Amino acid sequence: MPRLLSAYRPPRVLVFGSRARGDALKHSDLDVLIVSDAFRDIAWLERPVRVVEDCDIRFGVELLCYAPEEFERKRRELGIVQSALAEGIDLIPLD
């Protein structure tokens, strides 16, 4: 988490899915949604790759990486972002 915070300065990080709900199986991955201004100039498919490399992530993590305006748009739509907000655990307290 410290590397993520220093590299991407995210205003929002949510853990969601089976780990957040408490029904994960032994080999379940960790679902993480990250919001950062740093993602604006990075292609959608490249974002999680960069986070994994920059933060030296070595275990099963599924990353959703959004620029703030993308996150705001997606949170109004039905889908995974709404689910993450409903069931997720916020790792960065909101002001």
CA–CA gap between residue 92 and residue 76 (Å, rounded): 21
Q: Which of 15, 3, 1 is nearest to 54 (CA)?
A: 3
Domain ranges of the chain: 2-90
Domain 2-90 class?
Answer: alpha beta
Mean pLDDT across 57-76: 94
CA–CA gap between residue 33 and residue 52 (Å, rounded): 13
- 22-55 pLDDT tens trace: 999 989 999 999 999 999 999 999 999 999 999 9
Sign of the dihedral defined by the CA atoms of residues 7, 13, 16, 22, in that order = positive
Residue 21 has pLDDT above 80, yes or no: yes
Residue 64 has pLDDT above 90, yes or no: yes
